[in-house]
């Protein structure tokens, strides 16, 4: 079991308040303080310091907390695998970015699970940065993301390549254009993903490489729900820059159109990322094989 004192340290790191942590852990305040002191004495470091604004995590404390989170995550994996062994099943927790979730990924994972009844899959949708944290802390077994993660402790398998396009309602005059110039795009009402998203980062990077700034565009709305963005585009509230693979079904159904943007190179990879100690790469290869078999039906 994970040391209860480490649980206390993690709680205090999250609340930065001994009183709150004591209440959450059903401990007395002196007990919480003793737990922290015991860990500090064992490791020979100071975990927290008091400031005018309350507790603050020290640099050494941040390292301890990072590893304590990994230990907590690994303990959770241990309990899950022991339970799976008893029930002859295997659980996989997969992290997926919002864009990846909205294309063929969910269908492929569902198909894989249907073909392997002993495997149960939980999908968690989050931003790339948050998924990376969950991966490092063993909260997800692997993640499917746009782009890649540069970390020697992680490995990746290329799943697909994709590119960004402009999505516009069929009633928007630009929908019949074979290519939209940046000057005309600046006149459109833009509905974009949040700045923390991979899609937004790629769009802004492509603009920068052309000497353009996102500040020159008419952004009327920012949100992180792909289905809501597509619905707003369909109803002609604005246009959006989104992944082409995320809207194949929408274009096929005539809900809106997609148009390339002149001068912008917005190609990216879709990768399966996992920690180097993940022991089921055979599962990942099977998922890639299913995905590739499904692609001819997905392209337009």
Complete domains list, the chain, with CATH: 4-61 (1.10.10.10), 76-159+269-298 (3.40.190.10), 161-268 (3.40.190.290)
The 10s digit of each residue's pLDDT in 229-257 is 999 999 999 999 998 888 888 998 999 99
pLDDT of 89: 55
Token reading at 68: 């304590």
The 10s digit of each residue's pLDDT in 12-57 is 999 999 999 999 999 998 999 999 999 999 999 999 998 888 899 9
Are 289 and 107 within 8 A, CB to CB? no
Q: Per mean pLDDT, which range of 114-118, 136-140, 294-298 is the poorest?
A: 294-298
pLDDT of 95: 94
Write the DSSP string, 208-242: HHTT--GGGSEEEEE-S-HHHHHHHHHTTS-BEEE
The set of residues, in sequence order, having a beta carbon less than 8 Å from that of 102 and lying 6+ positions away, is 226, 227, 243, 246
pLDDT of 297: 46
SS3 of residue 131 by DSSP: helix
């Amino acid at each position: 079991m994970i040391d209860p004192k480490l649980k206390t340290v993690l709680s205090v790191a999250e609340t930065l308040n001994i009183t709150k942590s004591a209440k959450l852990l059903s401990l007395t305040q002196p007990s919480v303080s003793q737990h922290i002191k015991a860990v500090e004495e064992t490791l020979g470091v100071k975990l927290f310091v008091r400031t005018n604004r309350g507790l603050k995590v020290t640099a050494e404390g941040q390292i301890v907390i990072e590893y304590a989170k990994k230990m907590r995550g690994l303990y959770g994996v241990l309990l899950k695998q022991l339970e799976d062994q008893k029930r002859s099943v295997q659980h996989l927790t997969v992290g997926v970015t919002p864009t990846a979730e909205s294309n063929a990924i969910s269908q492929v994972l569902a198909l894989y699970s249907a073909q392997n009844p002993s495997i149960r899959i939980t999908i968690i949708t989050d931003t790339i940065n948050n998924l990376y944290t969950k991966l490092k802390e063993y909260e997800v077994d692997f993640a499917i993301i746009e782009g890649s993660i540069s970390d020697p402790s992680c490995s990746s398998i290329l799943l697909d390549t994709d590119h960004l396009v402009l999505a516009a309602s069929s009633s928007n005059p630009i929908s019949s254009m074979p290519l939209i110039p940046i000057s005309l795009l600046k006149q459109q009402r833009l509905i974009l993903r949040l700045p923390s998203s991979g899609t937004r980062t790629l769009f802004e990077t492509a603009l920068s490489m052309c000497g353009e700034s996102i500040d020159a565009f008419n952004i009327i709305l920012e949100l992180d729900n792909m289905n809501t963005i597509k619905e707003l585009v369909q109803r002609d509230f604005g246009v959006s820059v989104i992944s082409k693979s995320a809207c194949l079904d929408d274009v096929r159904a005539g809900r809106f159109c997609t148009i390339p943007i002149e001068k912008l190179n917005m190609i990216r990879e879709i990768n399966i990322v996992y920690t180097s100690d993940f022991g089921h790469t055979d599962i990942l290869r099977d998922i890639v094989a299913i995905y590739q078999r499904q692609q001819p039906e997905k392209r337009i």
